Structure 1
């Protein structure tokens, strides 16, 4: 069959999510150090064409919402042809580690990390 099992696709999204969070200076270790975890509360995936085993792919991820939830969109493409393989989005919410309380507002630490990447208009 030589096709990636659909259940493995979230692993590719995780690579994109980790990269975008590290780019803003908020890695998993930094999240824990700041007292927050960010569990996924919603994951949506649209499969466009099958991904082949060992096929090189390009994963593009971007933060599109951060006011009450953290929403990241993804595009996975065949690296060689540029063809779209899938698009997806994930939503995460801040969770205070010490109390396990979900926050439906963005903690100041994330706003601070995002500030250098936002235009003056927001």
Structure 2
């Protein structure tokens, strides 16, 4: 239950030391997260259309080794929790050597758009999408 994306680091993502600015790591997580959500057909447009927003309520990044301009990286998003929130873990690797560069996670909760209320359980629509996903195996 994961998705991988390959990114070549653009110049506008690095600082004067030629290293990716720390805030851009969350952008790389987001790119991989969208690919993962696309796989089970519940990305942000489908979330909105189903009546729910899923704001990120927590994020964590552990910077293992700096990433540099033009470096090719592989970002993996792994679905870890879904019953009460979406918790997605991320790993960033050098695409050539496979060396681990960064790890982290984000947590998102469902908010009923019309009522503007947070849900304490994931809505049935998410569970239906996951159950229809051939790669999904509830543990």
Would you say same fold, with TM above 0.5?
yes
How far has the Cα of 1:118 moved from its partner?
A: 3.1
How far has the Cα of 1:43 moved from its partner?
A: 0.4
* Unpaired runs of at least 5, structure 1: none
Q: Of residues 84, 89, 97 in structure 2, which corresponds to 1:68?
A: 84
Q: Note the alpha carbon deviations across 1:4-49, whole angstroms, 9 max, x for none.
A: 1111110000001101000111121111100011001110111100
Superposition map of 1:83-102 within 5 A: 83-102=99-118
Which TM-score applies when normalising by structure 1? 0.94
Q: Of residues 108, 118, 121 in structure 1, which corresponds to 2:136?
A: 118
Q: CA RMSD in A?
A: 1.1
Aligned match of 1:35: 51
Which TM-score applies when normalising by structure 2? 0.83
* Number of residue pairs matched by the alignment: 121
How far has the Cα of 1:53 moved from its partner?
A: 1.4
Deviation beyond 2 Å, 4+ runs, structure 1:
116-119
Aligned match of 2:94: 78
How far apart, CA to CA, are the structure 2 residues paired with 1:98 and 1:54?
Answer: 44
